Chains A and B, each alone.
Chain A
């Protein structure tokens, strides 16, 4: 067993209200009793640098920077198992979405690849109104790891042969189908 990690809370910069800003109804995360049901229920926990239980404790303590730099949130597959089983009824999965929002806003460097997934999806959705899987994947791999696409080339060809992919020419100019709605939302949220 590895030695427990010690946080010297008198020296670390922290924001005790951090957790209160994350959940839809304010202070819900304060109800966490550290039972570990979330970690035990998470299909990705084994690959995380910080397990869900520990991450929620760090959130409670206000260790904002450490939480946003961890890769935990990017390994969440949004299966809602932790949220469904949380004995304190905390909307954990929804709160993960909020953490991702913050990490994208702060442009945390080491997870550029993960944020690129969301940005690529969002851009394609905005432009055409509907997802174009081929353009989304091309966009994603080009902005992260073009060589990584090679690992998917074989499968891509198989899917293409089966008619599962529908390549379409990109349309890069002109107004996007959902530009107005995206702009309006940004305006209402004071981001524009």
Chain B
């Protein structure tokens, strides 16, 4: 299986461990993954607030690059906000007039877009192109005894997901079970992590994060598939603990890191030392 990989800005800095673990795991399973050259920011949720056309032109610039580079290859995305930007653009340019306008904008970059590049979220690729059985086949160390709380977040499954349910997502279940771990279901699996509210309206943001952490706290760790979800759930636990008046400390792992542990990968690829909440207590639960 071949993919053109669009990392997105977070994976160059705050979520580098997501990128490293994802690429290693996919490579081990025989995927051919090539990074899109000269990619730029997808515009996140900001560009469409600046202007309608900017919100389409910034993602389209990358889609056009993928079209040029790809021989029909699908574009792999690990960030749910990037995923939403690209899916939003593909939906909008189905209208020929909109596509025409986007292409008028892309002229200054010497690019043109057909509207036809298929965008795939990492979770979709893991759950459906590979699937639990194939993933289990590469396992060296089952995660027996580990209770994992899946956390999908919002934009992974809403509104553009064509691989999972927007209200009760399930894609992680088979994968977590295949790794030998137990799924800890909770009521905040498809809730929002608060995104930028943690910066702009911190009181409300911390309340939202607190509700998720509270719901998942009986698990040994939380599994996520988005850099923003990871930052918000991992970095603010001290602040949430202070507000709640009780300590909350639950490791938050990117799903490919979790798979990586089961594949026997080392710290070099997993980069757990970059996390704010130490991952060791969860790993210690694994039978050696």
Binding site for B on A (CB under 8 A): 24, 43-44, 47, 74-75, 77-81, 83-85, 93-94, 97-98, 100-101, 104, 113-114, 117-118, 121-122, 125, 129-131, 133, 137, 140, 151-152, 155, 158-159, 162-166, 177-178, 180-186, 188-189, 191
Contacts and interface: CB of A to CB of B under 8 A. Distances in A.
Given A80-B159, A81-B158, A130-B9, A121 B46 contact: yes
B156 to A, nearest CB: 11
- Chain B interface extent, by class: 35 or more
B105 A117 contact: no
17 contacts: A24-B92, A47-B201, A75-B197, A75-B204, A77-B196, A80-B159, A100-B49, A113-B200, A117-B200, A122-B50, A133-B10, A151-B202, A162-B273, A162-B275, A164-B231, A181-B61, A188-B105
Interface stretch (B37-45, B65-73, B171-179, B249-257): B37-45
B235 A78 contact: no
Given A130-B40, A181-B105, 4 more contacts: A43-B191, A43-B192, A164-B231, A189-B53
Nearest to B153: A79
B159 A159 contact: no
Contacts of B182: none
B107 A184 contact: yes
A180 B105 CA distance: 9
Nearest to B88: A94
Given A158-B276, A181-B57, A47 B158 contact: no
Contacts of B241: none
A81 B168 CA distance: 12
A162 B276 contact: yes
Given A181-B58, A184-B105, A188-B101, A130 B274 contact: no
B12 interface: yes
Nearest to B203: A47
A183 to B, nearest CB: 8
Interface string B11-25: 011101000000000
Given A47-B201, A84-B166, A131-B41, A164 B195 contact: no
Contacts of A44: 197, 204, 208
Interface of B: 9-10, 12-14, 16, 39-41, 43-55, 57-58, 61, 92, 101, 104-109, 154-155, 158-159, 166-167, 191-197, 199-204, 207-208, 211, 231, 235-236, 238-239, 273-276
Contacts of B211: 43
B109 A74 contact: no
Given A163-B274, A177-B40, A188-B101, A101 B50 contact: yes
Nearest to A42: B192
Contact of B13 (A24, A85, A133, A158): A133
B108 A166 contact: no
A105 B82 CA distance: 25
B159 A188 contact: no
Contacts of A129: 40-41
Contacts of A164: 13-14, 231, 235, 274, 276
